A and B are shown apart, each in its own frame.
Chain A
Amino acid sequence: MKVAPIIHTRTFSCDFNSEFLVRPECFMDSDIKWARKNVLGATGEIDGLQGIRWLIADNGKYRIAGVVGFLKTICLKCHLSETDKMKSEELFCDDKGRLVYAFIGVVIDKRQNFDYGSISLDYLWKIYLEEIGQIWKRTYQEVILKDFRDINAKSVVSKTSIESVIAGSKNLYETNAVSDYELFSDLLCNTGTNDFSFCSNILDFNMVKQSEFTFITTSQNIITRMTRENITKPSVISNEQPSQVITPTDVTEPFKTRETKKKVS
């Protein structure tokens, strides 16, 4: 599978770059804008984040997949050598002593790939160390542009059997650290699905309500509130690439879907 790294992070003394600190060389402004919108949708309410969030965004041309979380949390979940552990620990906090969080992911050019494999947290952390480790302490940061390269990624067979609930244009699943990654892998490897987005572990009601993700994993409380309140986000006219809403009938749906009686078309 050919992928290019994409990273949204701050460094020791430089704030977040609004055009990604690392991104594919071929990305145009419209691609950056699309990717950023999805990434910022996943980094919201970061202080309340327990664990990590998996993110996928697909616009028909590119598929982005990666993880959002505090570097310390991500790192603690990885299997690292002692040297990498020591290198990693330097990256946990910024110059003000605040924990640093990031989106670390890969971009798949859909025109060059026909089979997609899943990616692991270890692989993503390796990318972060490679790209950011060396420039961490710089006081002036420039965007790092990267080419696509081949990686070994195995396609996974769908394991998930969690039911989703539809609230407006969103498919809501109950969150769980294990099933979140399974859902992520399933969707990432699903070649038949286009124009969708997925974010796991969103536990803030406003964030779920306002997000434009088509697949979300969240708490049972929020699922109930969302279906009870029949919330739909009004369509917004914009010149961005239209985001098609996936319903179980028009895609190769990897998960079982339970429609609620209050479904809003």
Chain B
Amino acid sequence: MIEGYTTIKNIAAKWGITPRRVQVMCSQEKIPGAVKFGRDWAIPINADKPEDGRITTGEYRNWQKKGEDNTMADTQITILGMSGAGKTCYLLGLYYKMGAGLRGYTITTDEDTDVQLRDRYARLCDVTLDMEKRFPAGTDNISKYEFDLQYGYNTIMSFDWVDYPGGLLDRKNSGNLEEYEDVKKAINNSSSLFICVDGSLLLGDDIDEKIDNVRDNCSNVINTFFTEYFKSNNELPPTAIIVTKYDVCKDDTDAEELCEIIEEAFSPFFVKNDNRKIVTIIPVSIGTNIMDNDCSGKMKPLNIHLPIFMGIWFALSKKIQAHVANIQKQEQTNASTISSLRDQKAREENKWIFKSKDEVQRLARRIQEAENNGKKQTQQMNYMLNAMADNSDKLIRELEKIPYVYINGERSSFSEIVK
């Protein structure tokens, strides 16, 4: 634990409440200075116990359940795509590539999920299997995953991932309401959204037909979710348009044509207006010739890590901004405490009669203490800020490899976003 900070368990014992309650307070940003590292919270040793604003009537029944429903990961990333677009394969390819480690980065999860995912990608890797056995069956259920992105085994950020049947997006409110709302909630809570465009829609020579394919099988359903996102968040999320199975279509659709098709099929993302839009186009593949009839291609993911790095980077940037705001708030609080103490001291010193030397000395000591605490707190918060900024810089080095980046409809680069 970092100096000056303590764990949830220790603070819970100090305040006489449950660790779970402290965790909820942290998530609700009720403890100034509390910072999340991966799944753990670091809380300033001298943090004051916030008031318990919970309702103590029957309305509060089942509050723990509600709390548990809230995502405990740092961020949520959701991929939007229709049935068979390659969402599950993308997840397996990502876990395959990142599980082994890529330039110091790894993605980890709990032991049982790890076994389950590795078993699934082991099948994808087996070139002796028939295509039908090698690839995952269609999804009929919602599965939630919790991952940590680590660098050198240090967690940079944890994120939640939802895998769901693509047909659910199409059915909207007509099917099971809870399932639809679960996915919609995941979408609206996401710091970044990915759109999964099936590369097999881009086969052939006719560019207009390819645009229509993408429109009919993807954008006409997806667009409404972005409208909803905008309504609930008042902004559009950074979006990665992932073209899956790129190895299948790359001979028919070169890079420039790919951009042209995507710009046309998802035109609202590429116009210039008041809404800030950051969009990337990332062709990905889990292996060349992997979908051939003889299914001989080996698993060799291409660009598969870039979307997730992008999502994490944006979430980290938001976290840094929030942390900076927290530091400023903390400094203002300290400054106002010190100023008030100085006023009190000055008043005491300026008294003509009944001047108390002891009181002046006591106030001087308190001013000194407040100044020292403030300095220490700022130092600790800056230390964390530097750690986060360092992680962000490392990610940028990888993100500069994203081939097509658009800011408000204009072709740009990731370094422009960073600026």
Contacts and interface: CB of A to CB of B under 8 A. Distances in A.
Interface of A: 8, 10, 14-19, 33, 36, 40, 43-48, 70, 72, 92-101, 204-206, 236-237
Contacts of A17: 175
Given A10-B140, A19-B175, A98-B137, A48 B120 contact: yes
B62 to A, nearest CB: 5
Contacts of B135: 97-98
Contact of A100 (B61, B133, B136, B137): B137
Interface in B161-176: 165-168, 170-171, 175-176
Interface centre among A8, A16, A19, A72 (most CB of B within 10 A): A16
A239 B35 CA distance: 37
Contacts of B143: 44
B165 A99 contact: no
Contacts of A14: 167
Given A72-B132, A98-B132, A205-B115, 10 more contacts: A8-B140, A15-B83, A19-B175, A36-B176, A43-B140, A47-B120, A47-B123, A95-B84, A98-B137, A98-B138
B141 interface: yes
Contact of B132 (A18, A48, A99): A99
User: What 6 A-B pairs come out closest when comparing CB atoms?
Assistant: A15-B167, A18-B175, A96-B84, A15-B83, A16-B140, A18-B176
Given A14-B167, A16-B165, A96-B84, A101 B137 contact: yes
Nearest to B135: A98
Contacts of A95: 84
Interface string B171-201: 1000110010000000000000000000000
Contacts of A236: 65
A46 B113 CA distance: 14
B119 interface: yes
Nearest to B92: A47
A8, A99, A101 — most chain B CB neighbours (10 Å):
A99
Given A19-B176, A236-B65, A99 B167 contact: no
Interface in B270-284: none
A18 B123 contact: no
Contacts of B141: 40, 43-44
B31 interface: no
B205 to A, nearest CB: 22
B133 A99 contact: yes
A204 B120 CA distance: 12
A94 B138 contact: yes
A97 B132 contact: yes
B179 A15 contact: no
B112 A98 contact: no
B222 interface: no
Contact of B113 (A19, A43, A92, A206): A206
B131 interface: yes
Interface of A is mostly: loop
B183 to A, nearest CB: 11
Chain B interface extent, by class: 20 to 34
Given A98-B135, A98-B136, A237-B65, A48 B116 contact: yes
A14 to B, nearest CB: 7
Contacts of B171: 18
21 contacts: A10-B140, A14-B167, A15-B168, A16-B165, A16-B167, A18-B175, A19-B175, A36-B176, A40-B141, A45-B116, A46-B140, A47-B120, A47-B123, A48-B120, A72-B132, A94-B138, A98-B136, A98-B138, A204-B112, A205-B115, A237-B62
Contacts of A16: 138, 140, 165, 167
A206 B113 CA distance: 8
B299 to A, nearest CB: 15
Interface string B372-408: 0000000000000000000000000000000000000
A96 B88 CA distance: 13
A135 to B, nearest CB: 16
A8 to B, nearest CB: 7
Interface string B342-374: 000000000000000000000000000000000
Contacts of A8: 140
Contact of A206 (B112, B119, B137, B138): B112
Contacts of A40: 140-141
A205 B115 CA distance: 10
Given A44-B141, A48-B116, A97 B65 contact: no
A16 B175 CA distance: 11
Contact of A15 (B65, B116, B138): B138
Contacts of B132: 72, 92-93, 97-99
Given A8-B140, A18-B168, A206 B116 contact: yes
A100 B175 contact: no
Contacts of A204: 112, 116
Contacts of B165: 15-16
A41 to B, nearest CB: 9
Contact of A94 (B84, B131, B168, B179): B84
Contacts of A92: 132
Contacts of A15: 83, 138, 165-168, 170
A186 B120 CA distance: 34
Pick the most buried of B84, B113, B119: most chain A CB atoms within 10 A of its CB. Answer: B84
Interface in B99-156: 112-113, 115-116, 119-120, 123, 131-133, 135-138, 140-141, 143
A17 B165 CA distance: 10
Nearest to B123: A47
Contacts of A93: 132
Indicate the member of A14, A40, A47, A97 with the most B CB atoms within 10 Å: A47
